[in-house]
Structures are given as C-alpha cells and as structure tokens.
Amino acid sequence: MNTPKDWLEKHMGGKGWHERARPPGSGGGSGRGAGGGVNMPSPAQFRLIGIAAIVLLAIWALFSTFYTVQPEERAVVKRFGKVIGITDPGPHFKLPFGIDNVRMVATERVLKQEFGFRTESVSRDQSSRYSEQEHPEESLMLSGDLNMIDVEWVVQYRISDPIKYLYAMREPERTLHDISESVMRRVVGNRIGSEVLTTGRVEISATARDEIQSAMQAYDNGIQVITVELQDVVPPARVQPAFNEVNEARQERERMINEATKEANQAIPRTEGEANRQIAEAEGYATERVNRARGETARFSAVLGEYRAAPEVTRTRMYLEALHEALPKVGSVLVVQDGQVPPVPLLNLRNAQASSAPPAAAPVASAKEGK
C-alpha cells in the first residue's frame, strides 16, 4: 500500500523530503542520504551578488535623484509626505529612494472642460473633430419662460496654485465641472428663451464666468477660470421647425418695423423742411409788406408836409411826375382832321420813348378820333 512518504520518495529521486533537508554527512534512518544534500553558495558567489545589488542600488539612486520640469509645468516636491517647495522648469535634484516625491502640474497650459459635446481629436491644421455622441444630461435646461434649450459651452481654466490644486481638495476638476453646470443652469433659468437664443449670449457667458470664479475662490482650490464660451445654443431637435417659423416671423416683424422707421425718418424731415420753407416765405412776405407800407407812409407824410408848405407848387410837381410816369407807356398819339391828308403829330412820344427806353420798346398804341 502506497503512503504519502513513498510517493514523495518516488517522485523526488528516491529520497524523501526529510532526507533532502539534512545537511551533507548527517546520518539518516533510510541509509540512502549519505551522498545527498543542499549546495550552499560559495564566498565568490556571495561577492558577485553583493556587487550586483550595489550596482542596482546605484542605478536606482541615479535615476531617482534627477528630474526635469517642462516649460509649461511646475513640480511640487514632498519629503516624507510633507510639501517642501515648488520647482520651476529645468533639471533639478532630489533625494533618492523615495525620500522625495515629485508631482508635475501643468500651470502654464490652458485647460478646458466641455459640456454637451466632446472633442475627439485635433488635426494638424487645427481643425477639431467632435464626437457624434450627444450629452443631453449636460446641455438640456429650462429657461425662465419654461422653454427647453440645448446649450453647449466650454469652460477654459488654468491652475494658478499647484499646491492647493493637489492637496486643498480631493477632486478639484470634478468640483469645477459640477459648479459650472449648476451656475449655467441657474443663469439660463433667470432669462427668457428668446434672450438666451439671440441677444443674451455674451452677458450669459460673462455672468457664468464671474460666478464660477467666485466659487473657485471660495473653495480655494488653486483653479483660475479664464473664460466661459457658449458654443451652440439651439432649441431641441423636436421643436426646431416650430422655432424656425417663430424666428422667421420675428425677423419679418423687425424688417417691417425697420422699413416703417426708414420711411418716417425720410418723410418727417422732408415735411418739416417744407413747412419751414413756407413759414419763412410767409414771414418774408409779411416783412416786405410791412416795410413797403412804412415806406409809403413815410413818403406820403413827406409829401403832405411839402403840400402844406406850398400847395400849388406841390400839386404841379405831382402832376408832372404823374405825366412823366404815364406818357412813356402810351406810345404815339395821332390826331387826324377832316380834309388834312398827313397826320399832325400831337406829341412826339415815340422818339422820346425810343431815346429813353431800352432797345425793346413798348408796343405802339394807335388811336383815331372822329373823321
């Protein structure tokens, strides 16, 4: 009958495990262990193992002593778990064997968090390729007038204090993500849908940026928010046709209002100018009539004074002046008598008028008195 001891002796070269464990030269109960035993390393082998261990320790110390910080990074150095300083870009020395630990933080790089979409890759010509997967849990939100709006935005930030970023908060980027989403939902919820979709984008971005930065300062986690940029702000796809119709109606209304305003701006100044012209003409005519009446009054007063001083002389002068004004307009006056062939000139007014008037003389009036 096979026992465990017999099985071990059979499969281990005919020696039991208890005989293999005995040193050379020691006796054994089976009588077969005099020539067997474990081979111990020689002193030369011990020296080679020691040299190899020293070389490995030296290599480890060499690679764990120096480190290099990239231009856009800062290194936070800890010694036995305590932060001892921050190092600038370039090669630096630290204590080996895990005494000093170094963590690199990209403080000069602008980082970003995307909401409602994801960027898969950026090509060599700086064009981005976006993922087709949608994230409605981030982008869909309610406006102040209870309309659903799909808002996609980007938060750009940088790490201003690497120590606070690493050790002041457990998950600072997750905190930034949650606060950004909460702030954007509240800002959009305080405005009506048409304002969010059209004119309020810049104000929404500025307000969200200020509130997110205030929250980061309150947490004191070393994150500085640079900007918040709205990407696509559209209604959900199911109501997109209705929104387009409403938007077209609003644009048509604005167009008609602008055209009416244009017509009013053209008609009102033209009408006002015409009215001012007529008023000016009326005022000029009134001034002319008043001045003429005053002149005639002054002339009549002067003549009256002269008439009172010398009535006969003044009357004669006025008679002659009236004839002087009237006779040039009469032309030639011919008096024909019976039995006389040639006409007898009564007044040679034609020659007088031709000598005193311009080349275009007044028309000649002929009169014939009884034959």
Tell me the torsion sign for CA atoms 315, 316, 319, 324: negative
% of the chain with per-residue pLDDT over 90: 39
Q: What is the pTM of this model?
A: 0.55
Higher per-residue pLDDT: 359 or 199:
199
pLDDT tens column, 222-271: 999 999 999 888 888 888 888 888 878 888 999 999 999 999 999 999 99
**Are the C-beta atoms of 69 and 92 separated by less than 8 Å?**
yes
How much is the average pLDDT of 171-199? 92
Q: Has residue 25 got a pLDDT over 60?
A: no
* Structure confidence at residue 3 as a pLDDT band (50, 70, 90): low
pLDDT tens column, 296-309: 999 888 888 888 88
How far apart are the C-alpha atoms of 280 and 115, rounded to whole Å? 68
For the chain, give the mean pLDDT.
Answer: 80
Amino acid sitting at position 342:
P
Other Cβ atoms less than 10 A from the Cβ of 164: the count is 16
**Are the C-beta atoms of 345 and 314 separated by less than 8 Å?**
no
Amino acid sitting at position 353:
Q
> Any idea of the CA torsion for 38, 44, 47, 53, to the nearest 10 degrees?
-60
Q: Look up residue 236 and give its two tokens.
A: 């959900």
Tell which residue, 117, 204, 188, has the closest CA to residue 149. 188
3-state SS class at 146: coil
Q: What was the pLDDT predicted at 280?
A: 93
% of the chain with per-residue pLDDT over 70: 76
Residues 6 or more apart from 154 whose CB is under 8 A from it?
112, 113, 114, 115, 228, 229, 231
Q: Considering only 57-61, 149-153, 184-188, 244-248, which range has the smallest mean pLDDT?
A: 57-61
* Structure confidence at residue 132 as a pLDDT band (50, 70, 90): confident
3-state SS class at 118: coil
Q: Has residue 217 got a pLDDT over 90?
A: yes
Q: Has residue 42 got a pLDDT over 80?
A: no
pLDDT tens column, 334-357: 666 676 666 555 555 555 555 555
Q: What was the pLDDT predicted at 347?
A: 54
Q: What was the pLDDT predicted at 272?
A: 92
Element (H or E) spanning 145, and its range? none
Tell which residue, 96, 75, 73, 95, has the closest CA to residue 86. 75
Q: What was the pLDDT predicted at 115?
A: 94
Residues 6 or more apart from 236 whose CB is under 8 A from it?
140, 148, 149, 150
CATH class of the structural domain 111-121+128-235: alpha beta
* Structure confidence at residue 9 as a pLDDT band (50, 70, 90): low
| Strands (DSSP E) found in the chain | 66-69, 74-79, 82-87, 90-93, 100-105, 111-115, 119-122, 128-130, 140-142, 148-159, 223-234, 333-335, 344-347
Q: Has residue 14 got a pLDDT over 60?
A: no
Other Cβ atoms less than 10 A from the Cβ of 8: the count is 15
Distances (CA, A) of 161 to 94, 125, 164: 21, 33, 6
Q: Look up residue 328 and give its two tokens.
A: 């040039």
Q: What was the pLDDT predicted at 57?
A: 78
Q: What was the pLDDT predicted at 253?
A: 93
